[in-house]
Structure 1
Amino acid sequence: MEIHVVSSTVIPQGLPPTENTKIPLTVFDMLASGMHVAVLHAYIPPMPTNTALKDGLKRALGLFPTLAGQLVENDDRCHPYISIGDNGGGVLVVETNVESELVDILPLEPSPELVRFHPPLDEARHLLQVQLNQFSCGGLVIGLTSHHRVADGKAISSFLIAWGKLVRGLQIDSFPGYDQTMLIPRDPPRCDHDHWGIEFQPLPLPPSSLPSTLNSNEVHNMRVHYSGEFILKIKARMPTKHSTFEVLTGHLWKNLTRARGLDPDMLTQIRVAVNGRPRLWPAAPTEYFGNMVLNAFPRARVKELTEGSVADAARLVHDAVGRIEDGYIRSLIDFRAINNGNVLVPVTDFEGPVLCPNLEVDSWLGFPFQEVDFGDGGSLCAFAPSWVPVEGVVILMPTLRGVGEGGVDVMLTLFQDHAELFRQISHSLD
């Protein structure tokens, strides 16, 4: 499949203030991985022209200025911030023509080949990068990469919805908020929980602790579909009510552990991403733009997990997530204040590319992908990460297979032999 680059331009920062603005990174921004996240959105025709899409993007950047800013670290690396209105920054926009029809790459099975549909992630100079891939049939794939320390998935979703509305000439009814007042530490600050080694890694580390890399043929990205009917079957086995996320995560954890063939006495855990906005008291504004994700860590012995029920696994997930509440969040905010003079590096930066025997589970179930509408009659037909070069990542995504179907698509990254075994038992209820 030939992909021809037509143009590559930088959209400057939109409507900068008269004076330079520095927005400090919060403890949640610093907790996010220091890398770009790449997601592809595929639309069937007819779609607006690239000119219309870029014009709407320019207007959107005026409302979401941090996406076009610059990430700056002071010499001491203790107080990073996003600079807005200074020279530099902007958003990279690449336009391509694809000598193929959109159907040829659907349903966007993550693979190394899909990375061609978004700008490179390595040494990216801009916090937001966009690639507009026009197919011969009129279909469009928008490849978007965003630096995780600028915004989490919920925030990026609000940006995409606003971008679509501006392309259609509509008014924005919810503006992004940058007020960090609710994240002010207590007086005096106090840590009620231990955060070293959980969220942040004490420094320095020996050179052997630095992560290595994986070759693209060592890890397999796969997509598995769970219908709404199948999820109801799992829920029917629960003695108490659990969310779709909890029962499906418990089901996946149990069967993935079986597929990996782990030692029965080994400890396995999941790093579960939890949206902290509604868990603060009072709750953070839904329009807050940035990061506010923490991690919960359900854990169990392999034997306990594989021989127990899915209900047991779902309960472990439920209980771990439930511990992320206002008190824990306030403790983490105060931890940043107490360690104001220390370099804070998230533990995830030192985990390396193999998570086994553990997992990372991210839920995109609450992200309103289907509300991203650029007009002209085109509609979203697929979305997915391009390719994740880390073993042990699980992403739950709402299916696009049918309105009201209620199913979930799961993207997993496993070693090839584990992937083959998991596919055989992916829907096992034993």
Structure 2
Amino acid sequence: METLVQFQVFSETIIKPSSPTPISFRYHKLSSIDQSIQNVYGSMAFFYQKSHASDDWPPNEIISQVLQIALSKTLTYYYPMAGRLLNNLFVDCNDTGAQFIEARIQCPMSEILKQYSHSQLKEQIFPRSLFSCVPEGGSLLIVQLNYFGCGSIAVGVCTAHKVADASTISTFMNDWAAMARRESSDFPSPHFNGASLFPPVLNDPKLVQYNPPNSETIVTKRFLFHASKIEELKAMAADSGLNNLTRYEVVTALIYSCAICATMMNTGSFRPSILANAVNIRSLTISPLPQKYVGNFVRFFPVCVTLDDEVGLKILVHKLRDGKIKFHNEFNEIGGMSGGEVAMVKGNEGNNFDVYYCSSLCTFPFYDVDFGWGRPSLVCLAARGEVMNTFILMDMEDGIGIDAHVMLKQVDMCVFERNELLRSFAYSDPISRM
């Protein structure tokens, strides 16, 4: 049963860069990959547990002041995030600023965490605009600082996906945190060269925005794969003949297999499907790019399941490995499969194929985001409600286990979460077990 909590937004302000953006940097070109990304917010919440045994925890007023001053300084370096989008071609880096919201939630943080999967509670952690497209003239960065009755805090961060992928958000958050800790010896050094590598285009049908259908009720649930269970899963798949299986391969294969099985049980028949796997291409270019390259540097490689005897774990692990190797080999020649092209696959196949998406945020140092009062006790995503058939993998706090966010139609989720194979490797609704 959902707990009713008192929630109040008591402050909203605009944070501008501490120094004006030079005229020569006024217009930041989007890359062709940025252009193909939906005009939505990507979002994360960073939960910080107050330690009552420590005297280092600052008062709320100091926390707010530290975050706002550090954000203003950080935006001087990440100036596009303080600008506004123009016609899917540019960011007008006009220093309009980022939104900064403060809210009180009159309950312990533990109560929110126990029921985080409920949309009403999730929406309180994030700005309301998270659950809509980025409006014309809207902020590209929105921060909501939440104060809990127990003294703990949560920082909800929403960034326009047009200007930031997961790697960018990770880099930005760690630079902001370093600025808050006053580690001025190492100033942020983001690079904004995406458009020179992937030039923007006009009137390209590949860049037509794909809007997922929202007529179905979509449910997001989280499944926790502890390190020991991942090793068991690797052992189960090992006799497929592959060596050095990765966390991503075995967990993704299991989730994909169980999702297909759920659809089969609900429809009574097998449907061919495509799994589009996101790849951070910064390390794949001929001259590897630093992780501090800002924007979207993501391509996709497909895994196709066209026969019902291809749904098993071992076969899917093989398909994932083969698809990844092919993508790496061909990337510099053909550029891989873009997000826009994935949408075209969906459109061209019509009702003949189901399309799934998987993205791994593992290895990005989200748990290193320390503003001066310690590392976060939990980092979570907030998924927009209409994103269907999507799996997002994150590190657990130990950096070894995997925290998987799975978004499926409600009817499919009811079957998916009862899958015995899945239940033998993953805990569902893991936050309630903290």
User: What is the TM-score when the length of structure 2 is the normalising length?
Assistant: 0.81
| CA deviation after TM superposition for structure 1 residue 420, in Å | 2.5
Q: Distance in 1 between matches of 2:11 and 2:307?
A: 52
Please say if residues 210 and 350 of structure 1, whose CA atoms lie closer than 8 Å, have aligned partners that are also in contact: no
Name the SS for the 1:247 alignment partner.
Answer: helix
1:245-394, aligned counterparts within 5 Å?
A: 245-261=248-264, 265-306=270-311, 308=312, 310-325=313-328, 327-328=330-331, 331-332=334-335, 348=343, 357-376=354-373, 378-389=374-385, 390-394=387-391
Percent identical pairs in the alignment equals 22
Q: Distance in 1 between matches of 2:352 and 2:72?
A: 39
The aligned counterpart of 2:103 is 96
Among 149, 160, 163, the residue aligned to 2:173: 160
Please say if residues 108 and 384 of structure 1, whose CA atoms lie closer than 8 Å, have aligned partners that are also in contact: no
| CA deviation after TM superposition for structure 1 residue 92, in Å | 0.4
Q: Which runs of 5+ in 2 are unaligned?
A: 51-56, 426-434
The aligned counterpart of 2:9 is 5
For the pair 1:128 / 2:159, whether they are aligned, the reply is: no
Name the SS for the 1:223 alignment partner.
Answer: strand
| CA deviation after TM superposition for structure 1 residue 229, in Å | 1.1
| CA deviation after TM superposition for structure 1 residue 111, in Å | 3.1
Among 35, 38, 54, the residue aligned to 1:33: 38
Amino acid at match of 1:131: Q
1:385–1:69 distance in 2 versus 1, CA, 3 Å: same
> Greater shift after overlay, 37-46 or 60-69?
37-46
User: What is the TM-score when the length of structure 1 is the normalising length?
Assistant: 0.82
> Greater shift after overlay, 356-365 or 3-12?
356-365
| CA deviation after TM superposition for structure 1 residue 93, in Å | 0.5
Name the SS for the 2:179 alignment partner.
Answer: helix
Please say if residues 167 and 375 of structure 1, whose CA atoms lie closer than 8 Å, have aligned partners that are also in contact: yes
The aligned counterpart of 1:240 is 242
1:2–1:328 distance in 2 versus 1, CA, 3 Å: same
Q: Distance in 2 between matches of 1:9 and 1:98?
A: 19
1:59-89 Cα offsets, whole Å, 9 max, x none, are 111111111111112xxx6xx01121x3x63
Amino acid at match of 2:401: G
Name the SS for the 1:379 alignment partner.
Answer: coil
| CA deviation after TM superposition for structure 1 residue 345, in Å | 6.3
* Structure with the largest fraction of helix: 2
Please say if residues 11 and 91 of structure 1, whose CA atoms lie closer than 8 Å, have aligned partners that are also in contact: yes
| CA deviation after TM superposition for structure 1 residue 141, in Å | 1.1
Q: Distance in 2 between matches of 1:94 and 1:210?
A: 29
Kindly tell me the number of residue pairs found equivalent between the two proteins: 389
Amino acid at match of 1:248: V
Q: Distance in 1 between matches of 2:414 and 2:340?
A: 35
Q: Distance in 1 between matches of 2:119 and 2:195?
A: 42
Q: Which runs of 5+ in 1 are unaligned?
A: 186-195, 204-208, 337-343
| CA deviation after TM superposition for structure 1 residue 110, in Å | 3.2
1:98–1:227 distance in 2 versus 1, CA, 3 Å: same
The aligned counterpart of 1:419 is 413
| CA deviation after TM superposition for structure 1 residue 254, in Å | 1.0
Q: Distance in 1 between matches of 2:149 and 2:352?
A: 40
Amino acid at match of 1:227: H
| CA deviation after TM superposition for structure 1 residue 247, in Å | 1.3
Please say if residues 274 and 294 of structure 1, whose CA atoms lie closer than 8 Å, have aligned partners that are also in contact: yes
1:210–1:277 distance in 2 versus 1, CA, 3 Å: closer
1:5–1:180 distance in 2 versus 1, CA, 3 Å: closer
For the pair 1:82 / 2:130, whether they are aligned, the reply is: no
The aligned counterpart of 1:177 is 191
The aligned counterpart of 2:214 is 213
Query: Aligned-residue CA RMSD in angstroms?
Result: 3.1
| CA deviation after TM superposition for structure 1 residue 349, in Å | 9.6
